[in-house]
Structure 1
């Protein structure tokens, strides 16, 4: 266990500078967007009331009162920083393995020669990805109340409606995926992500074990796993009328577990018996 924890700490440390840079980028970019949208609202309100002197005391903004949720849902730029960070983490699923071969060839040699079971390397890298993803999600959710407070401070009360953090999360489809309202939904969404990472990890190890033949093998393995998982939808017309929705869900859950166990077991076998430098 200590060997595994040291490996996880090492993997997180190696990505820490990039991770902190991503945090800083999201912070600065999103607060800048909130500031620009708030300034745009106040400027439009000032211009509207300046040109429409007979609008009446109750008319302050041409579109009525605004709130943070509506304003940000209409801004295509607000979530772009988070999407860019998600893309970096997605690429790092490959980078967490390939950097040890392509950029630091001697490092993978030292890593494989460390005392302790080799499968600890697999689980350490998998755990590092999970921690990085959950950390980024938690950071984004922690920023929301600060951004909402910032927006409320910039936009006068007579121009806006107050919205809470949970109200905004409920109104945004992407945030509902990041923070599901039920435990079962959380298990499904993040379990699917974990399944996808384990499939990619094993595909990478197949390629690293057999090189050019392994490249085709890795792609084929990933394709086979996806085919198994989506197989109920390929025969949907046949099973829809014979099975209840809960039975279909349990079938999908069982297939996901089978593919996940198969991927992890194959990855453990490869890193123990086949992977070399």
Structure 2
């Protein structure tokens, strides 16, 4: 336990600069996109009023109505997806950086006394803590964005926002229900586990054999969708929902096996 906590702390300390850069980029990108949407809308309204010589209310009506909060944060989905992509890259980097440099930090890790499970557990924990931090930061950004929207836009140009106006993606961050947070963390765990498998296979078996095994797991992952689709077709209820639920359960079970495989690779195949 102590070893796991020490290694997790070390992973986070070694990643501080990159994480600060990622978080700063997320904040700047989202606030900048919000300001762009608001000022672009206001500019359009003012231009319509000036050219057509009409009132503000007429210009708003002619422009398609007031700007909703959902429209003001229209770019947030794309920015969050980009941040998630950065987390996936970070999951690769958190392993490969250990082989970079003259000291080869991975040698120190593998030669430490005790079980090697703490190595993979600390890296997974560090990544999940990063994801949790980003969820919290995204929630704060949405609340801040809401206040900026109300402050910068005159009342006639605003529309009281309903949670139904947001995408399912943004709603999870805005409501912050425990079930939504746990679901996001579970998805993060699944993706990170497959990234870890890719890295550990490549480091343990070499590129050629690793690519064959990775391809096999990809076939198992994708093939499960079609096999479950054929099986769930025999059930009389909502086929689409049942298909997704069964496939998600299948992916969770596959992830548990992948996690066991990762532990075995670190314990028995990864060497100095």
Q: TM-score, normalised by structure 1?
A: 0.82
Instruction: Tell me the equivalent position of 1:265.
Output: 260
Distance 1:175 1:57 in 2: 31
Q: How has the CA–CA distance of structure 1 residues 58 and 210 changed in structure 2, closer, same or farther, with 3 Å as cutoff?
A: closer
Matching of residue 65 in structure 1 with residue 66 in structure 2: yes
Matching of residue 205 in structure 1 with residue 200 in structure 2: yes
Residue 204 of structure 2 contacts residue 265 of structure 2 at CA under 8 Å; is this kept in 1? Answer: yes
Instruction: Tell me the equivalent position of 1:85.
Output: 83
Cα displacement string for residues 133-180 of structure 1 (whole angstroms, at most 9, x for unaligned residues): 22112211210110121122111111211326xx27x52243246578
Distance 2:181 2:222 in 1: 20
Return 232-241 or 11-20, whichever deviates more: 232-241
Return 217-226 or 87-96, whichever deviates more: 217-226
Matching of residue 194 in structure 1 with residue 193 in structure 2: no
SS at match of 2:145: helix
Return 196-205 or 125-134, whichever deviates more: 196-205
Instruction: Tell me the equivalent position of 2:132.
Output: 134
Instruction: Tell me the equivalent position of 1:33.
Output: 33
Q: CA deviation at 1:13?
A: 1.2
Distance 1:57 1:33 in 2: 24
Residue 202 of structure 2 contacts residue 210 of structure 2 at CA under 8 Å; is this kept in 1? Answer: yes
Give unpaired runs (5+ residues) of structure 2. none
Residue 206 of structure 1 contacts residue 270 of structure 1 at CA under 8 Å; is this kept in 2? Answer: yes
Residue 67 of structure 1 contacts residue 161 of structure 1 at CA under 8 Å; is this kept in 2? Answer: yes
Distance 2:177 2:77 in 1: 23
Q: CA deviation at 1:237?
A: 5.8
- After superposition, residues 99-248 of structure 1 pair within 5 angstroms as 99-103=97-101, 105-163=103-161, 167=163, 171-176=166-171, 190-211=185-206, 215-235=207-227, 238-243=230-235
Residue 228 of structure 2 contacts residue 247 of structure 2 at CA under 8 Å; is this kept in 1? Answer: no
Residue 116 of structure 2 contacts residue 266 of structure 2 at CA under 8 Å; is this kept in 1? Answer: yes
Q: CA deviation at 1:30?
A: 2.0
Q: How has the CA–CA distance of structure 1 residues 177 and 163 changed in structure 2, closer, same or farther, with 3 Å as cutoff?
A: closer
Q: How has the CA–CA distance of structure 1 residues 179 and 115 changed in structure 2, closer, same or farther, with 3 Å as cutoff?
A: farther
Q: How has the CA–CA distance of structure 1 residues 193 and 104 changed in structure 2, closer, same or farther, with 3 Å as cutoff?
A: farther
Give unpaired runs (5+ residues) of structure 1. none
Residue 225 of structure 1 contacts residue 259 of structure 1 at CA under 8 Å; is this kept in 2? Answer: no
The CA RMSD measured in Å over matched residues stands at 2.9
SS at match of 2:15: helix
Distance 2:245 2:145 in 1: 40
Q: CA deviation at 1:203?
A: 2.6
Q: TM-score, normalised by structure 2?
A: 0.83
Residue 12 of structure 1 contacts residue 128 of structure 1 at CA under 8 Å; is this kept in 2? Answer: yes
